[in-house]
Amino acid sequence: MSDLVTLRRPGEAKVPSQDAAVPVVADPSAQRVYIETYGCQMNVADSEMVLGLLGRGGYVRTESPDNADLILLNTCAIREKAEEKVFARVSALAHHRKRRGAIIGVTGCMAEHLKENIHERAPYVDLVLGPDAYRRLPEHIENLRADRKPTLDTKLDRHETYEGLDPSREMTGGVTGHISIQRGCDKFCTFCVVPYTRGREHGTPPREILRQARAMAEAGYREVQLLGQTVNSYRYEDVTFAELLLAVASIEGLERVRFTSPYPLDFSPEVIAAMASHPKICKHVHLPLQSGSDTVLQRMKRGYDFATFARLADDLRAAMPDIVITTDLMVGFCGETEAEHQDSLAAIARIQFDNAFTFAYSEREGTVAYKKIPDDVPADVKQRRLEDIIALQRKISGERLARQVGKRLRVLVENTSKRSDKEYLARTDGFHSVIIPAGPGVEPGILLDVMITGTTSATLLGHPVES
């Protein structure tokens, strides 16, 4: 633990911060990059890192593809709909390549999943780059400028953790920073493409995680989110996730530490104790259940039954009564019967999740389910079951949100509300969104006490009160 707290081992030189955000004020002749990000927080973190990498090479970020020299779509491969959305979008952007010679690249999980098929289906894509190839992006751009030969680089690298590459602050506004502490996944759930698009699980050295966290604190970030496909599975040599969590929380200047997404089987008592004991570690867990049916969980190869999951939820709430628990729920997985669907509804009622991301199963080429388990639940049945799940969860979410009315909560102000420049979006420790009025002392990065006065369907409403 001492090595964690001091960031470096005895005799090891301190790594200087390389925070180099893509400049806001730029040389008019500088190359401009436009980036769109799809999917999970890991992709958001990767986009921030890519922007930082390009910024150090002289690129400036633009908010519009109309004047971009480089257009990147950082993609997700979890669902087929996400991939189709990217193909439609890249087709819409293709005229920038023809009209002004912009380089168009598809990066991330979809690039790894489809590889050369992207060039076949979308020949106007110049660059296909997998999640482990970002460090080579500047070299590929230089080569494309020279000969415009389509480039494919999707080789997975079990040792690539992007050590030493700091993110741009533009995507987050400098309030919340993302640190990928682990890449890849070893679980091989039968429905999931992640082990094939991001490779096997491998962790970032603790010294690098803490270097990044300290650099973020020094740059003014107030919150850090630790990321991994199964983030709580993290272990590097003799350092556990619980130890890492406490070490990051001890960094001066950081006020909040979050993590996502943990895997239910790897949620140790030590992590629960760390969360409960340290005020800076947020009392929110996004804990993917996927299904409330034991037989479906077996077909998914999730490794746990519902009783095990429920005990974990009970343990979390026993240690932290006010903890917010959110989840992922899938309907219509291969062979799902009506009785198994009812098990999922019963599970939602039993756990009382604060919120849930819900979706219908779609086959992903390359997975075990795609190869061996027929996708035999009709689309209309999937849709009806999805509506059942959404209706029940919406009711529970509304009830749990309403319990916050009348409470005094600490919030971190993030940015101006999308609906009005006279309001700000802030978040509670439990990750609830709170809309508060603009006023003296209300600005991004400020921690405030607010009184919760009401709710919308998914958001709290409040006003600042004196500390």
The residue extents of the domains of the chain are 13-153, 176-402, 408-465
Q: Give how far the C-alpha of residue 276 lies from the chain's centroid of Cα atoms, to the nearest Å.
A: 23
pTM of the model: 0.88
HEC assignment per residue over 398-458:
HHHHHCCCCCEEEEEEEEECCCCCCEEEEEECCCCEEEEECCCCCCCCCEEEEEEEEECCC
pLDDT of residue 280: 98
Cα 39 from Cα 112, distance rounded (Å):
14
pLDDT of residue 426: 97
Burial of residue 390, with CB atoms counted within 10 A of its CB: 0-12 exposed, 13-18 middle, 19 or more buried: middle
Output the six-digit token pair for 103. 């380089």
pLDDT of residue 171: 60
Helix (H) or strand (E) holding 256: strand 256-260
What CATH number belongs to 408-465? 2.40.50.140
Residues in the chain, pLDDT under 70? 1-28, 170-173, 467
Give the domain 176-402 fold.
Answer: pyruvate-formate lyase- activating enzyme (3.80.30)
Q: Which CATH class is domain 13-153?
A: alpha beta
